[in-house]
Amino acid sequence: MASGHAKRWAVGAGVLLLVGLAAGTWWLLRPGPPTVETLKESVELAATGGDRVLREPMRPLTPGPRVLLFALDGVGASEFRQAVREHASGSIHALLGPERGEHLYEHGFAVPGALSILPSTTVAAWASVYTGQPPARTGVPGNEWFARDEVRFYAPAPVSVHAKEDVLHTLTDGLVGKALKVPTLFELADVRAFVSLAHVYRGADLFTTPEPSAAADLLVDFARGLVGHPDVERETYAELDQESVAHVVETLGQHGIPRLQVVYFPGVDLYTHVASEPLEQQRRYVREVLDPLVGRVLDAYAQAGVLDDTHVLFVSDHGHTPVLGDDRHALSAQGEDEPTTVLEHAGFRLRPLTLEVEPQARDYQAVVAYQGAMAYVYLADRSTCPKPGQRCDWSRPPRWEEDVLPVVRAFHRASQTGEGAADMKGALDLIFARVGRHVSEDAPPFQVFDGERLVPPREYLSAHPRPDLLNLAERMEGLGAGPVGHLAGDVLLLTRTGLERPLSERYYFANHYSSWHGSPSAQDSLVTFVVARPGEAGAQVRARVEPLVGPQPSLLHVTPLVRELLGTH
């Protein structure tokens, strides 16, 4: 990140928020012209501080139990528990109390073995958290994706493109909520609900955020890859979380304590991606940055006299796996010897790596979307657009023999021998594909390429056991098989990664970083899922939670659990 951008946001959150004109000027000084639409949104929300009432009138403040959900982006189960253990004087430790067993606290219960969805990456995972549905049903399959029925690329958390518009629309216009095909927790619970900074807030009563254009720019600069830059400082990301909590506390004082409050912390994830010692520095961030912020919110509840009637949840979307931030291990979207090179060598015209494509470049036959350890490849039926300049009919699925299999084999050769992209040699773990169907039909599940043919995941795993890839078959089905499963692409690539492998053998689809996620490995997949209630024994909390999450807990259980705790199930 350029130091001017980072510092401009840190200062701007306290100064530029106050004057819409200043925010507009700040936009105009950015490289590249802002659109009229995004400029208007930036000025409007800068003047209001980013707080927005979503329902008029808001739902009434009804009596009953409350839920306070702290959403910790990227904080894996192990890192959270260790950070709390190391900070016995902290607010979280005071809330949970001493450990009384492997997963038990004096006043809380850590759900053991709770898994993320696939890909274990931010936007897809939070969409599943706030709906209780897997990606093949939510319609939000990743940080970025291509909707062939709309011929549109979405990037609410950009990885392969460097555009801020979808990030800004997520904060100002509910882009992710509009993309969802299923009801949200806030609609299902139907109680007064406030949401801070999260990607999903459709159905809530009030949404709070720091100055949106500045936050959006921070996220886009992050997507460019920042490892090793001298101006990457923890405070840059901490400011995002601190501003968010400042808005939350102000809102609680102004509007009262809602039945459901979500407080989202994205800064810890952004910082972990670029920190030189990702897991160690993440734990320090939890102790030194997040813990005091959690304490501020808990104090607000205590001062209002409602903390004892509140279930407090700590939930994360994924963990983090340390990686090497160099050209060899970062499979970026641009440059030579990258995944995009494989597609071009296989004879496909690639969609330009931009959010919006100029009319003269809309003759593309393949699209890529990056999810860290996973990448989605979308393919056209090339018989509809064989010549340059011809636009493909994306409403038709790709042909199996002529379009899908050539790509599967090309990536297999690239990973085995480096053919078509030397840096791809040894980078891929598994290649998935499936027969295309029209978008009006349920998408079939992905199959695994074994080097000769495609086989169902369960059959493949029976012949090639992979205990390191947790619940792979079930989670891949949740990603790809369903009403909107086509949004995860026609070919899906999984890199070699996970703590089980040496650092030098871990790869990821993105620019240079110090850690990434998105895989089925334990480090990426085991999430924080802790439930606490002040004054109640942890054993009682466990007795209430365990029957609801069952023997295979996952992020899909958060919404039904919250509804049960609120008494609105």
The pLDDT of residue 222 is above 90: no
Instruction: Round to whole Å and give the CA distance between 16 and 348.
Output: 46
The pLDDT of residue 8 is above 50: no
Q: What percentage of the chain reaches a pLDDT higher than 70?
A: 87
The pLDDT of residue 243 is above 50: yes
Instruction: Round to whole Å and give the CA distance between 519 and 54.
Output: 35
Structural domains in the chain?
A: 49-117+180-319+527-566 (3.40.720), 339-522 (no CATH)
CA angle (461 as vertex; 403, 555 as ends), nearest 5: 90
Instruction: Round to whole Å and give the CA distance between 123 and 156.
Output: 8
Could you tell me if 469 and 432 are in contact, meaning their C-beta atoms sit under 8 angstroms apart? no
Better pLDDT: 423 or 70: 70
The pLDDT of residue 34 is above 80: no
What order of strands is seen across the sheet that includes strand 206-208? Answer: 52-53, 206-208, 193-196, 260-265, 66-72, 310-316, 529-532, 108-110
Instruction: Round to whole Å and give the CA distance between 93 and 110.
Output: 13
The phi and psi torsions of 435 (rounded to 5 degrees) equal -70, 130
Strand-pair partners of 314: 70, 530
Q: To 10 degrees, the CA torsion angle through 479, 484, 486, 492?
A: -10
Q: In the structure, what pLDDT confidence band is assigned to residue 337 with cuts at 50, 70 and 90?
A: confident
CA angle (147 as vertex; 316, 223 as ends), nearest 5: 50
Residue 369 DSSP one-character state: E
Tell me the average pLDDT across 487-493: 98
Long-range Cβ contact pairs of 274-280 (< 8 A, separation 24 or more): 274/222, 274/226, 274/227, 274/229, 274/232, 274/513, 274/514, 275/234, 275/514, 275/515, 276/514, 278/320, 278/322, 278/514, 278/515, 279/79, 279/320, 279/322, 279/515
The pLDDT of residue 355 is above 80: yes
Give pTM, 2 decimals: 0.90
- Which of these ranges, 37-51, 141-155, 263-277, 458-472, has the smallest mean pLDDT? 37-51
Better pLDDT: 169 or 469: 469
Q: Which of 237, 165, 313, 174 is closest to 5 using CA atoms?
A: 237
The pLDDT of residue 210 is above 80: no
